[in-house]
Amino acid sequence: MDRMCGQFNGSARASDNKVCWHNVLILSIKFSLNISNCRILNLDLMSEYGCESWRIYNSVLSQMIQQSQKQLQELKYGLYITNALNNSKIHYYIYLYRKQIQDVNWARKKDQTEAGEKMKHLEATWFGLITKNYEIELACAEIERQLASLNE
């Protein structure tokens, strides 16, 4: 707006300068009036449509928050169930592993017990056979002694 009047020049006439500043003042008032009219129009539009749009916006935000919280709870519950299932699976696998170890140990004990009984039986048989062999050797030695005494 200052450009309309240019630089103040001492050689310019005062009446021209007054007209120039008068025009600038009128333009400034028109500009301010135009801004005020736009503000009033915006306020009218805001009062007519703004509150409802803010209510709708807030309602949408509230629904989004509720859905997010629900999803968060579902995720937490899902993770809890998953962890519980994983823990249950882990405990189940540990149980199975221990049961397999116990089954192997029982099978080994059974095999060793059976092998021990078989060894006792074989040892008793062996001892019986050794005793019979010794008795036979004694009988043979007695017969040889008797033959030797008959031959004399």
Would you call 17 exposed, middle or buried from its count of C-beta atoms within 10 A (0-12, 13-18, 19+)?
A: middle
Distance in angstroms (rounded) separating the CA atoms of residues 13 and 20: 11
| Whole-number pLDDT of residue 136 | 95
User: Which one, of 34, 43, 3, lies nearest residue 20 by Cα?
Assistant: 3
| Tens of pLDDT, residues 74-124 | 777 777 667 666 777 777 888 888 889 999 999 999 999 999 999 999 999
Above 50 in pLDDT, residue 9? no
Count of H-run helices and E-run strands, the chain: 3, 0
pTM value is: 0.36
| Whole-number pLDDT of residue 13 | 58
